[in-house]
Amino acid sequence: MLSFKLNDRDVTTDAPSDATLLWVLTDDLKQHGLKFGCGLSQCGACDVMIEGAVVRSCQTKASSAAGRSVTTLAGLKENGKASKLQQAFIDEQAAQCGYCLSGMIMTAQALIDRNPKPTESDVRAALNGNLCRCGTHTRIIRAVLRATA
């Protein structure tokens, strides 16, 4: 049995010991914001936070979440509505296909949690490892800066 906090609620699952966090979150716990991208921890589509630190859930063993706090895109909501960062992504139309978006938002949120007033350079550096094939990086950067203005 694996127990941890998921978006501020206690969860338990009997996932196999070798299961990745991505598969436990999507298959067992029905979290649909994060995506399977490359499966090699290189694209960021599967990013979530454990104790506030971004991890690539496709290569993170689910057992590493035991007794800890995991946050997914759904956990960023504020009073049942989009968070300030999520709303900024909507307002800036910072998505085309949206496949990378969850990881981008999770990485941006971790940056904002560490640095509430990041510069454009800070945002670019933080998001450097999150890949987007649609080319909306300019809007994504504007959205993060908008959320922190």
pLDDT tens, residue by residue, 30-60: 999 899 999 999 999 999 999 999 999 999 9
pLDDT tens across 82-110, in order? 999 999 999 999 988 888 999 999 999 99
- Quick one: tokens of 10? 């206690």
Return the H-helix or E-strand segment holding 20. none
- CA pair distance 19, 131, nearest whole angstrom: 24
Residue 136: pLDDT band by 50, 70, 90 thresholds?
confident
pLDDT of residue 98: 84
- Does residue 47 contact residue 54 with C-beta atoms inside 8 Å? yes
Compare 18 and 51 and report the one with higher pLDDT: 51
The encoded tokens of residue 129 equal 């490892």
- Hey, what amino acid is at 106? M
Other CB atoms closer than 10 Å to residue 39's CB: what's the count?
14
Q: How far apart are CA 32 and CA 20, in angstroms?
A: 15
In this prediction the pTM is 0.94
- 126 phi and psi, to 5 degrees? -65, -40
Instruction: Find the helix or strand (DSSP H, E) in which 104 lies.
Output: helix 101-114
Phi-psi region of 110 (alpha: psi -120 to 50; beta: other; left: phi over 0): alpha
Residue 46's CB is within 10 A of a number of other CB atoms, namely: 28
What are residue 53's DSSP bridge partners? 50
* 69 beta partners: 5
